[in-house]
Every structure is written in C-alpha cells, then in structure tokens.
Structure 1
Amino acid sequence: MRSVYRILIVDDEPFIVNGLADLCQNAEHLGLEVHKAYSSSEALAWLKRAKMDIVLSDIKMPGLNGLALYKEISRQWPRCKVIFLTGYDDFTYVQEAIRLGSVDYVLKAEGNDAVLKAIEKTVELLDREVEEGGLIAKAREHMRRALPFLQQQYVLELMQRTPESISQPELEQRFSELEMKLAADKPCLLLLCRLDTRNREDGPSTQSLMSYAVQNIIGELLSPMTTGLAVEYGRSKMIWVLQYNEHGEVQEEGSRWPEPKQEQEPERVQRFVHGMLEQIQDVCRSLLRVKTSFAIAGEWVGFARLGEKFEGLKRLLDSGLGIGQESLLSETGPRSHSEGTGNFLGRSRVFLKRMELLRGCLDNGDREEFLHLLREVTDASSFPPEISHLLKMEVYYGLVSVLMPSLVDMEALSHAVEGEGNVDYIRLTHLEEHDSWAEASAYFERLAEIIFNRKEQGKQEQQHEVIDKVKRYIEDNLAGDLSLTQIGEAVGHNPSYLSRLYKQVTGEGLSDSINAARLAKAKQLLKETTDKIHVIAAAVGFSSPPYFYRFFKKTTHLTPQEYRELQNL
C-alpha cells in the first residue's frame, strides 16, 4: 500500500481553490491529503512546512507567478509534480513551464474532468517513479552493494553466539538471503591475519587500502583450493573463514585440477593453506612493504563453533610467540571442548558478547529474543564441569550488570509493576543468596519480565497520551484544518507515523475518526439549532456546502435537511 500523496492547491481566487479542494477530496480513489493556499506567499509557507507531492497552481498570480513558484518548488522538493491551470492567453507561460520539465497543464475552460484526469495521471506517474523510478530499484542496488558488509556482519554475529543458539535451518536461510559464497553445511577453516607494520602517519583511508590489498593477496593465493570470506576485526586484523573447493575446482572459470576427488580432502587443503602462508608473507613484504602474522586453526569446524575457535586463535596470536612480527602459528590439532583456563577465557568472552546482545534486546524492548538469549546463557548443561562454577559467576554478575540500570530507573521513577513489590538488591547482587542455579536463572527471568512489563506499560501510556491529544485536537478544531500535516504539527509527531500509530492503537483510520467526529457534530447542530446548512457545514470544516451535502448523504443516506426534519418530528 502506497503512502498518501499531499496536494497543494494554489490560486488567488478562493472559490477556485475551495472548489478544486472539494474535487480532490471527493476523488477518494486517489487518497489525497489536500492543502489550500490563496496566494503564492501562502504556498511558499506550505512548502517550507511540509513535503508536497503535487502542486496544482494558477500560472498567473499577483506577486510570485506560477513559473517563479515552480522554481522554488523544484529547489525545495525536486520530486514534486506541478500542474498549471492556464487560460488561452497564457501560452507563452505554458511553453516556458514545459521547458522546465516535471510539469503538466490544464486549460481552465476544460473544466473539472480535465483537472481530475491530470491529477490521476500525475498520481500514476508518482507511483511509477517509486516502483520503477527507480526508488525500489535503487534500494535493491544499494542492498546488493551492501551484501559484502552484511555477510561480514553476520559472520561476526555467529562468532558472538553460543553453539546451541545456531541452527542449520537458520544458517541455510540467512546464507541464501545474503547470497553467501560459503556453504552453510560445509566445515570451515579459520585463519587470523594481523598487519604488523603500520606507518603512524598513515590516515585511516591509507590503512584501509593496505588492509584491502592484503585481503586481495590472501584471497588470490588461496583461491586454487579454497573459497573464503574475510572479516575485519580490531585495527589491522582480519579473520578468514575458508572452505575447500569441491572436486579440485579453482575459482577461475574453466580451470580444474587433475587430481582425483579423494586428494581434495580437508586435510590436504589445510596443508595447502598452511604452506601458502609463508608465500603470502613474502608477497606482502615485497609488494606492499607490510609484515604480516597468521594463526591457523588445527581443525575444520562448523559455523556453530566459529566463536570458540576464533577466541582460541585470538589468544594464540595475541600472546607468547604471537606478539612478535611475522609470526606463523598453528593449533597443534583438534582441541578439546574442556581446556581448563583457556576454555574458560574463550567461554567468558563469548558470554561477554552475549551480554551486549542482551543489553540491545532490553533497550529495544525485544522481550522474546531477550528471554531466548537469557535461557541460552543460563543453560548450565553446556558448561564444562571443571569450570562450571567460574562460568556461573561470570554469567550471574554479567546479568546483574545488564538488568541493574533498568531496575534502578524503575524505582527512581516509582514505576514498580503492580503486585511485584520492590527489588531485593541484596539477593540480586549475591549469587549465594539462591539455593540453586536453576532458582537463580528463574529469578533473572522474573526480573526481566518485570522490566519488559514496565516498558510495555510505559509505551502504552505514551501511545494513549498521544491518541488522546489527537482526539482533543480534532474535537477542538472541527471547523479548521484537520489535515495529517496540521495534526502532526499540533501534537509533535511525524504525520505518517501518527497515522500508523492511530490505526494501530484504535483500530480505526485517522481520517475515519475525523469524519465520524464531523458527522456527529453536524447531527448535533442539525438537531439542536436552527442554523442554516452552509453555517453548519463551515462549523464542521467544510468550506463548500455541496461537498458537505454529498458527505452527509453518503454516510447517512439522508440529506442534512431530511435528517433535521426527522429529528424534529
């Protein structure tokens, strides 16, 4: 469903403006938001106030004529379409207008049907520009260009998650959406690279270019047997996620290795990658004058285990021999899932990353994802026994740091959820206050529910406050401008957002509510007063009595006079 288009009608003759406004409002199939300006200066004020999609204007007006107005429209709202109303003696103006572009014109003598057709044609043009114009096409192109970045971000996300939270169906779906060259169901070999030499005088752009050049060299030299994705992390560091090519395929089209398939086992590719690292260092040193260090995994792992493998390689590259320049380090082989202190550090870093994700869910009000992550990080069945106590302490006090700011804010604002009582901070900040880990986990889940309940309550209170303001404004201004733009300005919210919010909260469109309020007031005035119909029409916001007549009869199946007579029987 497309957005509502705004049309501004400009003429120095009020009866023309009001008549054309009625014409547009009656054309319900166009769904236009209609605004009126009785001079070029008033039109300029509207253009500064709100984005217009269509301007229907007299070409000759006192002061700023239509052509000068068009130039100002083009400057402020380049996509706005202009329709000029002209007389037979305005042909010179028309020629100039057509030369400027994005303009249509209608002869005043042709009447309302011609005006309506011109507006319909312009609405169709606006629709086409969005669909073909390339706004959607451009969005798709931008998405395509962003795919490498999105692929890298997803791999980084996988490295922050626990193995239990990553499912094969999810991997396959996201890999398809992101058009990943890597296969979701194949094992990976992780390779870390660090640029050891950097000129301190080089700016960020130079460093980025150098990193990009190193990526290209690595990708090219490893391409005969691998497909890879490079992801930068930290300063001058990158992760390579590698997979072996099937049947000895190289990435260059049409080229194949003669060896039989069994020679392309992961072990052989792993030896190939390890053997090429020295050459990569030589090429980077000679061509780029950059020294590089590498740490390569000792086993192939699935995407669910990328995080723990990454943490292990980081420790390898950031300590001991890895601190030196041009290091070439390798894990000795498959590593156990229970490695004492090293395993604790790896798990601890993964949990710290999960805490950041939990904070994000809390800030964004994402209850379902928060509880899902909370149950994952508190699942003690995944903790290696020899470090289980350390991990429980890490998780417990990490969760305290996540929840504490929200709990303090709630108490400071006296917004405890009804029936929940005050938070026991002694119990919250001491793991030993709980009889078991299961009890502590359930305690955090209850606290999270309290916080989300309060957030939801606060959101609903604010939403209803906005809706009440809108309803009061409508009741107080039935005779005035009740356009989305005007109401949005009055209550301090974007008109499009306000329209969606009103529909979401009340289940009724804002325009329907306005019409209902106008109809109710009109019925009241018809019943309780002897005011003339045109006076009542003006009192409920209709500048044209015929338009009020049509509106009233369409909604009640009675004319205003017939309704009055029935009420007075």
Structure 2
Amino acid sequence: MLQLLLVDDEMNVVEALASALPWQEVGIDKVHKAYSATEALDILKTNAIDIVITDICMPGMDGLQLIEQIQLNWKKTKCILLTGFAEFEYAQKAIQNQISDYLLKPVSDEEILSRVKSVVELIRKELETNETYQRAMQALRDHLPRLRGELLQDMLQGKRISPVKLTEKMRLLEIPNGFQEEFVLLLIRFKEQFADYDPFEMSLMEFAIGNLATETFEEFFHLWLCKDVHDYLIILITPNDKLKGLMAEKSKGELKYQLERLANELQLNVQHFLKGRISVLISQWGMFPDDLTKLYYNSLSIFRKRFGDEKDLPVYTADESESADMNILYRLYEPPMLVHLMDAGNWGMVQQKLESILEELELFWPESSEHLTEAFFSIFASFSFIAHKNGKMLGELIGNEYARGKELAPCRTVQSLRAWIWNVMERLQIYTNSETKNARESAVQQTQKFVQANLTVDVSLQAISESLQMHPAYLSRIYKLETGENLSDYIYRLKMEQSAHLLKTSTRKIYEVAIEVGYQNPNYFIKVFKKHFGITPQDYRTSSK
C-alpha cells in the first residue's frame, strides 16, 4: 500500500491534485495533503509516506529544505520537486543529488501521473532487490513448514477464511492443494516410547516422522502437515499429478489399498528407524476445504473408538459408513474465540461472532435446550471475564437482572437468548465506550492546554506527543476522532484567533504579533493571515478601529 504526500502552500493546488487525479491507477492507495513544510514533517512522522511531491517556494522552510530533512530522516521516501522555470537553476543541485524526479510548471495531469507511476515502479523494483526484503523472504522460506502447519491447524479448528484470502495464503506458502480437490487425512498418535522426551527432543521426533511420511507418500501424493491441539500429527493428503493421470485406470478400492500400503510402510519405518510405535488412521475422502473441519472431528471420534489405549493395532481406514453427524456448535468454538475478541475490544467482530452463533442455533438446534444452555453459559463466561478484568462484577455493569440471566430464561428459545445477548451487549458497550471517551476527552483537554501554553514556542505534533507521553500517530488520530478537527487545523485556528485578538487590542507591530503566535517569518504570517481572514493584518487592524 503506497502513500503519497502533496505539499504546497497554495491550498487550491493541493486540493485539486489530491481530488482530481486517479491516483489508484498508478499504484497510489492513499493521498495526504500538507500546506507547509512543517505540516508535511508532522505527517511524515505519523505515516509511512513513500512519495512526496513538493513545491520549492514556500514561506518559512522551503521545498529544498524539506527534502533535506526527508533525506536525513526518511531515506527510503522518494521526492518529486515541483518547480517553475525561474527556479530551475536554484533547484539543480537537488535535482542532481537528492530527488527522484522533478516537474516543471505548468504541468499536465498526464505528466504528473506518468512521473509518479515511474517512481512507483522504481519503489517496487527496489523492494524486490532490497537486502532486507530478501532476508525476509528467506526467513519466510525457512519457516514455511511451521507457517503451513499453523494455517492447517486453524482450518481444522474451523477458522473461516474467505476463498480469496485462503488462495493467496496457500500461494504464498507454496501449498499445492486446490479448491474442490479430493483429500484424506492421516491421524498419527505417538506411543509411550516417546513419553519421556523433552519438548526439544519431541519436536525433532515430529520432524523426523514428517520427513518419513513425505518420503513414503511423495511419489503419488502431496502432503500438508501440522500438529493439532491433541498432540496428534495430522497429514492432509491429496493426489499429485502423477497419480491423477493414473486414477482413471484405478478404482477407489485400488486407491484405498495403495494408501493403506503406504501408511503401513510409514508405521514400519518409524518403528525401524526411530525405534518407536505410532497409531495411524486414514479418514474417509472429502472435498477441500468444505469438508475439512467435519472430517477432522469425525476422524478424532473414530480414532478414540477404534484405538483406545491399544498399542499394536495396524493402520485403520475409516469406512464411509462411519461418517457420523457431529452435534457440535462449531461457531461457538471456532477461532477467533469470543472471549479473545472481547478482550481485544473488537466490538464489530464480537457482534459478528455472536450473530454467527445465533444463526447456527436457529438453523440446526432451535429446539435443543442443551445446545441453547451450552451457548448461554459459554457467552455468559466471556461477558463475566471482561467485567472481572475491569475490576467490576458483571451485575454492576449490566444490572443484576441481566447478570443472572433471569433464572436461565435465555436458554428457553433462540429468540430469548438473542434478546438477552443484545441487551447485555448494549450495556457492556455503553460502559466501555464511556471509559474510552473519558480517556480521549482527557487527552484532548491536555493537548489543547499544552498548545495554548506553548503557542509561541513549539507546538509541533512531536513536542505535544512527547509532553503527553503518547505516540504521535495515536494522538493525532484520537484528536480527530474526538473533535472532528485535525490537530494541525486547531493549532492554525488558535494562532489566527490569537493574532486577531492582538491586532485588535494592542499596538504591537505586525512582525511582533507574528513572533507572538509562533511565526518567525513576518511575510509568511501575512500570507497565512490573509488566506484565513481574506484581508492583511494591517487592513484587519484598521477595520477593527
């Protein structure tokens, strides 16, 4: 996501460039606006700016001085200089040594877009060849097995990922499985011979078994491995291109025989090379990814029934007739868990999670008092956790009537559970929002107090954030959320109001008023004052008499 910053003291120029050009067509996702070099520096401190387009002639710090600061503090940021013909010689040094490109006024929209597109392509090429990027890609490759395993484990647990995101993740992690492709699961449990291993030795053993599995199956199958929450090794197996070419000639029975043969070979290899025993179950066939979670839970159930605590059973292949309906509330327990979403304060996701749980109850368990009670107590526990973490009892936040659940009335129907959930949610959000608002209001008040006290000294975003011990980006964001006004606009407005007051009530010279409100350059002060009030400071003073 590339970001562009436009800098010019002529507000109409900045606004026209920002709103009129199709920046996304040349690879720019976000456009920032600044009307002075000082404001530009504040934006650079709080945003990852990739490209800056700046005019040369600006009051106070000019464009060349701004570029010097950018080169010093944001070395990867590319600068494009906007210059007039008369300024060209003045800008030659910067053009030769410091900037990526320049635009000579007057300039057409097409030329601006063309130059920016060239810089965007340069940034992307640099990223691809950047040493840091290459190290990151190498680290990604080094950790591919773990990252693949984490993705598979999330999916086994029921985490829902959109087809677009899943496809992109699988491509990035170099996983060859395709959508609507047949698969089986191998569930492998380690025997007691490995019980005395420490965690490091156990991880080496898991790695060794995974390697043996890959060597055993790779001629005909793709393998995707992970360790699940029960400490089983789970292997998702799909036919590779070689096997697909032969499958037309093979029956399902022959395919089942080959899987059993290879699973038996794996079992023997582990016993021979690693001196330990494993139990192996081959699941029924399913379609990826739709059947994955259901097939996994069904296979766990079959594993428990068929193996128990037995030590020397051969490989077991689940029969299609063993596919049982699971009476599980999948959405209640699938990641991310409700309590984790509430702990993070992600109320939008909390509402989506609760709605999905209620939807599942309505679709599959509308008459089941057990499922309704299970959902109620699980949700009640999450609500209580949040209250207790805030040093409160749930009854204090939502009222004892709702905290008791009206003697389990919510468990009677889905509709009554829904009504209880949204009533509690409304009360919880009122409480948490009031806490957040109080903290934000306090930060805004402290900010305004600092600005008012330091108007003639340093009221930069950095100075304010250091005084309040807040991150500049956070401070800037909450100020805008709370007041609807940018902090820089508030400071500018305050300076204009103060200067107008001084012009009305004192006999100080114009340059003295400028210094009093923090402008060291009187000419720049006169320019911004006229832009704000429509008349010069002297005319304003005269008209006020």
Same structural fold, with TM-score higher than 0.5 when normalized by the shorter chain: yes
Note the C-alpha offset of 1:494: 0.4
For 2:499, which of 513, 522, 539 is the aligned residue?
Answer: 522
> Is residue 427 from structure 1 mapped to residue 427 from structure 2 by the alignment?
no
> Is residue 31 from structure 1 mapped to residue 23 from structure 2 by the alignment?
no
CA distance in 1, matches of 2:223, 2:425: 40
With 125-134 and 363-372 compared, the bigger mean Cα shift is at 125-134
The equivalences for 1:63-78 within 5 A come to none
Q: Give the structure 1 partner of residue 170 of structure 2.
A: 178
CA distance in 1, matches of 2:39, 2:514: 23
Q: Give the structure 1 partner of residue 68 of structure 2.
A: none
**Paired residue total:** 456
Q: Give the structure 1 partner of residue 269 of structure 2.
A: 283
The equivalences for 1:188-267 within 5 A come to 188-196=183-191, 203-234=198-229, 237-245=232-240, 248-249=243-244, 259=246, 261-264=247-250
CA distance in 2, matches of 1:480, 1:120: 36
> Is residue 367 from structure 1 mapped to residue 367 from structure 2 by the alignment?
no
Structure 1 unaligned residues grouped into runs of 5+: 6-24, 36-52, 54-77, 83-110, 250-256
CA distance in 2, matches of 1:434, 1:392: 5
Q: Give the structure 1 partner of residue 293 of structure 2.
A: 307
Note the C-alpha offset of 1:530: 1.0
> Is residue 332 from structure 1 mapped to residue 328 from structure 2 by the alignment?
no
Q: Give the structure 2 partner of residue 86 of structure 1.
A: none
CA distance in 2, matches of 1:554, 1:415: 56
Q: Evaluate the alpha carbon distance shift between residue 187 and residue 474 of structure 1 in structure 2; reply closer, same or farther with a 3 A threshold.
A: same
The equivalences for 1:78-477 within 5 A come to 80=73, 118=94, 122=98, 132=126, 134=130, 137=133, 141=137, 145=141, 149-161=146-158, 170-179=162-171, 180-196=175-191, 203-234=198-229, 237-245=232-240, 248-249=243-244, 259=246, 261-264=247-250, 268-318=254-304, 321-325=307-311, 327=313, 328-338=315-325, 343-344=326-327, 347=328, 350=330, 353-354=333-334, 357-378=337-358, 379-383=360-364, 388-407=368-387, 412=392, 422-427=400-405, 430-431=407-408, 435-477=412-454
Q: Evaluate the alpha carbon distance shift between residue 519 and residue 120 of structure 1 in structure 2; reply closer, same or farther with a 3 A threshold.
A: farther
Note the C-alpha offset of 1:522: 1.0
| 1:482-502 per-position Cα deviation (integer Å, ceiling 9, x unaligned) | 121111112221012222333
CA distance in 1, matches of 2:132, 2:478: 25
Letter of the aligned partner of 1:207 in structure 2? M
Q: Evaluate the alpha carbon distance shift between residue 122 and residue 531 of structure 1 in structure 2; reply closer, same or farther with a 3 A threshold.
A: same
Q: Are the aligned partners of 2:182 and 2:287 in contact in 1 as well (CA < 8 Å)?
A: yes
Note the C-alpha offset of 1:26: 8.4
Q: Evaluate the alpha carbon distance shift between residue 415 and residue 423 of structure 1 in structure 2; reply closer, same or farther with a 3 A threshold.
A: closer
Structure 2 unaligned residues grouped into runs of 5+: 7-33, 45-49, 51-70, 76-86, 102-118
Q: Are the aligned partners of 1:415 and 1:454 in contact in 2 as well (CA < 8 Å)?
A: no
Note the C-alpha offset of 1:564: 1.8
Letter of the aligned partner of 2:202 in structure 1? Q
Q: Evaluate the alpha carbon distance shift between residue 456 and residue 122 of structure 1 in structure 2; reply closer, same or farther with a 3 A threshold.
A: farther
Secondary structure of the equivalent of 1:181? coil
CA distance in 2, matches of 1:116, 1:527: 45
Q: Give the structure 2 partner of residue 490 of structure 1.
A: 467
Letter of the aligned partner of 1:563 in structure 2? Y
Q: Are the aligned partners of 1:30 and 1:123 in contact in 2 as well (CA < 8 Å)?
A: no
Note the C-alpha offset of 1:360: 1.8
CA distance in 2, matches of 1:458, 1:194: 49
Q: Are the aligned partners of 1:230 and 1:238 in contact in 2 as well (CA < 8 Å)?
A: yes
CA distance in 2, matches of 1:447, 1:275: 56
Secondary structure of the equivalent of 1:295? strand
Q: Evaluate the alpha carbon distance shift between residue 32 and residue 4 of structure 1 in structure 2; reply closer, same or farther with a 3 A threshold.
A: farther
Letter of the aligned partner of 1:132 in structure 2? E
Note the C-alpha offset of 1:230: 0.8
Secondary structure of the equivalent of 2:185? strand
Letter of the aligned partner of 1:380 in structure 2? L
CA distance in 2, matches of 1:200, 1:247: 38
Q: Are the aligned partners of 1:197 and 1:292 in contact in 2 as well (CA < 8 Å)?
A: no
Note the C-alpha offset of 1:153: 3.2
Secondary structure of the equivalent of 2:507? coil
Q: Are the aligned partners of 1:317 and 1:323 in contact in 2 as well (CA < 8 Å)?
A: no
| 1:12-56 per-position Cα deviation (integer Å, ceiling 9, x unaligned) | xxxxxxxxxxxxx98639922499xxxxxxxxxxxxxxxxx9xxx
| 1:314-360 per-position Cα deviation (integer Å, ceiling 9, x unaligned) | 3444566343445433323343444xxxx44xx26x46634861112
Letter of the aligned partner of 1:228 in structure 2? L
| 1:53-73 per-position Cα deviation (integer Å, ceiling 9, x unaligned) | 9xxxxxxxxxxxxxxxxxxxx
Secondary structure of the equivalent of 2:290? helix
Letter of the aligned partner of 2:476 in structure 1? S
Letter of the aligned partner of 1:542 in structure 2? Y
CA distance in 2, matches of 1:472, 1:384: 57
Percent identity at matched positions? 19
Secondary structure of the equivalent of 1:31? helix
Secondary structure of the equivalent of 2:508? coil
CA distance in 2, matches of 1:365, 1:563: 50
State the Cα RMSD in Å: 4.4
Q: Are the aligned partners of 1:299 and 1:334 in contact in 2 as well (CA < 8 Å)?
A: no
CA distance in 2, matches of 1:527, 1:135: 60
Q: Are the aligned partners of 1:463 and 1:505 in contact in 2 as well (CA < 8 Å)?
A: yes
Letter of the aligned partner of 2:281 in structure 1? A
Q: Evaluate the alpha carbon distance shift between residue 389 and residue 275 of structure 1 in structure 2; reply closer, same or farther with a 3 A threshold.
A: farther
TM-score normalised by L of structure 1: 0.67
